[in-house]
Amino acid sequence: MPLNVNAARAKVRAAKRVAVLTGAGVSAESGIPTFRGSGGFWSHQRFEDLATPEGFAKDPKFVWEWYEAHRRNIAKAKPNAGHLALAELEGRVRWFTLITQNVDGLHDLAGSRNVVKLHGDIWVVRCTVCGRERTERAELTELPPRCACGGMLRPGVVWFGEMLPEGAMEAAAEAVRAADVLIVAGTSAQVYPAAGLIPLAVSAGAVVIEINPEETDFSSEVTLALRGTSAVVLPELV
């Protein structure tokens, strides 16, 4: 299927307000495995059992071993051409909001500024007792890690069944409702409420551009589907 990159480029060029929703797929070409798409190496159930408050309560050491391995993997990763293209686009559009489901921090490293993190940040740790949060990039050797107050620390990410960070969905929904164009890149659109931003954009009359090598549940509703990888298509688009 020919890539409608030219048509998409014209829509983005004409846009005053651009919103972007990204998922794990945009970090795939930085060497970070996705969760669900082909090539994703998480057995969906296992991640679902792991990324829950219950899973953490049951076996905090096991969950921390998974997260610390993931942190070490991400620490070696670099932003790819897709991340960089989005940072470049932000500088050219008057009104730009990047909404991400990713917790790897690669958008920030690429230079994106207005980033709404819907699912938290793997580089943040939070105390389960006193609630104090801090950025911790160093390798955590004692698992589970402890707070100065003695409380057990948890990863600063949003698990299944947990509320998203205060105000995150509101900021994301506001950006999507106001957008002329919503670019949806690298997400299987299966996790809510994040995925709900796509039909919200469609109903608000935005041009929706999907960038994904595979179909998603919303492929039939988007304006333009670019069947390619984000590190290739986003630079072409921008």
Residues 131-170 that bind ligand BV8 (CB under 6 A): 157-163
Picked from ligand BV8, Zn ion, none, the partner binding residue 128 (CB below 5 to 8 A depending on kind) is: none
| 14 scored as a contact of Zn ion (CB under 5 A) | no
Amino acid at site 124: V
Token pair of 31 as six digits:
């060497």
DSSP, res 158: P
Least spacing, CB of residue 212 vs ligand BV8, in Å: 5
Least spacing, CB of residue 126 vs Zn ion, in Å: 9
Q: Which of 97, 230 has the CB closer to ligand BV8? A: 230
| 30 scored as a contact of ligand BV8 (CB under 6 A) | no
Residue showing the smallest CB distance to ligand BV8 in the complex: 25
Least spacing, CB of residue 144 vs ligand BV8, in Å: 16
Least spacing, CB of residue 136 vs Zn ion, in Å: 13
| 217 scored as a contact of ligand BV8 (CB under 6 A) | no
| 40 scored as a contact of ligand BV8 (CB under 6 A) | yes
The β-bridge partners of 125 are: 134, 155
- Give the DSSP H or E segment for 17: strand 17-22
Burial class of residue 96 (count of CB atoms within 10 Å of its CB; 0-12, 13-18, 19+)? buried
DSSP, res 194: G
Question: CA-to-CA distance for 105 and 99, rounded, in angstroms?
Answer: 12
Q: Which of 36, 126, 177, 227 binds ligand BV8 (CB under 6 A)?
A: 36
| 119 scored as a contact of ligand BV8 (CB under 6 A) | yes
Orientation angle between helical segments 81-92 and 230-237, nearest 10 degrees:
20
Burial class of residue 171 (count of CB atoms within 10 Å of its CB; 0-12, 13-18, 19+)? middle
Q: Is 107 annotated as catalytic? A: no
Nearest partner of 75 among 28, 109, 42, 126, judged by Cα: 109
By CB under 5 A, name the binding residues for Zn ion: 127, 129-130, 147, 149, 151
By CB under 6 A, name the binding residues for ligand BV8: 23-26, 28-29, 34-37, 40, 51, 101-103, 119, 157-163, 186-188, 190-193, 212-214, 216, 229-230
